[in-house]
Structures are given as structure tokens and as C-alpha cells.
Amino acid sequence: MRPTRLHSALGLLLRPQITAPGLRLQTRLASKDTQLPLVPSTLPFVPDVETFLTLIGRGLRQHAPKFPSWEALFSLTSDQLRELGVEPPRTRRYLLKWRQRFREGKFGVGGDIQHVDNGTAQLKVLEVEKDPLTRLKYVVNVPAGQNVEDIPQDELVRVSGYHIKGARTIVGPYALPTAEGGARVAVTEGMWEDRRGHKVDGGERRRAEVRFKRRIAERKAMREKQGFH
């Protein structure tokens, strides 16, 4: 690694934070007339670099020590990421794609959760009486150790991606039932990961070659079976 290039990368890593405090991208809509901030704010479910890299998966968590700050994670260019050892290139492209998604407020499951304790969120069932014959049920996020009844209804946070099955069973991605009722959702490796498609016959570039050789082998085997050599 060239000293001058490394110096430039480290200089960017150590720049002061430039994010406007309290900015929440999930309340903003990206458009041609809206300039997204270079560095978005963290979320309760995504408070730091390691959590973000853990959620998007593909082994990126191992690179967390290379980023001394949240600003560094969102500021470094592809070339600077390469200098820091984020390899291979497809991994860098994947990280850059998820950085842009996060800037645009396009989060994975749990992105709208507000109450998180040590990487875990508590979900409960809120029942609302619409009329004497109808009761609506919603999945809400509550602070750890509290019940729905303990919190004013206008302060409860509804959570998307989860629904109620049967009487009061909360189901959804990574939701685990709790003894106290409701469910908990913990930060887990790959929760937001874009799964790679299964490569058939070696992938797009080698597919024609692999299938051509297979046809030759099949014809040869058929001729030998028929007694031709």
C-alpha cells in the first residue's frame, strides 16, 4: 500500500462528524430535488458500524475494526475501501449499495424499531376497540420490561413486517416468543442480507462452455453404450 494513498484514506477517517444531529432518513423521501446527506444518522436498531455490517451480512462484520467511526463507514470511496482491505470488489460494491439504501431510508426489518436494549427489541400485541363488535390488533415495540398497558397509546411504536397469528402470537422475521407474552427480535448476522442466487452450471460466463462440454460427454457415453468407439 502506498503511504500517500493510505494517508489520504486515514485523513478522511479522522475528519469531524458532519451529520446534522437528530436527522432521521426514514422520514424523508429521496427525489431529484432532495439532496441526501453524506452521513445519515444512526437508528435505535442500528447504533454503530458493527451492527450495520452485521445486519447486511456477507461476512462484512469482520471489517468493522477498519472503520473508526460511523462517518468513516459512509464517507470512504471504493478506492479507499480497497486500501483498507475490504475485498473482493463485489463485497465493496455490496457495501456501497447498502450505504446508499440506508441514506435513502430503505431499511431492512427492524429499521422502524425505536426501543432497543442491548441489540434486542420487545414486541407486544396492542388491542384497540374499533366498535363494540370489532377489536383490532397491532404489533408494537415497547421498552424492555414494560407492557402495553404501561405506555400511553400515542407513544407506542407500530412495527412493520410482523403480524399476529391466532389469538396473540406474533410472527415475522427473527421473532422469538417470550415467556411474558409477545416476542423479541435481536440483531442477527445477515438479517438484511441480499441472498445471492444459486449459480447453475458455473454461472453466466461459463454456462455455455459447461453445457457444451456436457453435451459432448453425453453423446460420447451414448455412442459407447451403443457399441461405437
Grid look-up 439532496 returns: 35
pLDDT tens for each residue of the chain, 229 residues long:
455 444 555 554 554 443 333 333 333 444 444 577 799 999 999 999 999 999 999 999 999 999 999 999 999 999 999 999 999 999 999 999 999 999 999 999 999 999 999 999 999 999 988 888 898 999 999 999 898 988 988 888 899 999 999 989 999 999 999 988 899 999 999 999 998 765 556 666 677 777 778 778 777 776 676 666 6
At residue 56, the pLDDT reads 98
Beta pairing class for 183-186 and 120-131 = antiparallel
Please state, in angstroms and rounded to a whole number, the distance separating the CA atoms of residues 92 and 94. Answer: 5
Please state, in angstroms and rounded to a whole number, the distance separating the CA atoms of residues 53 and 132. Answer: 48
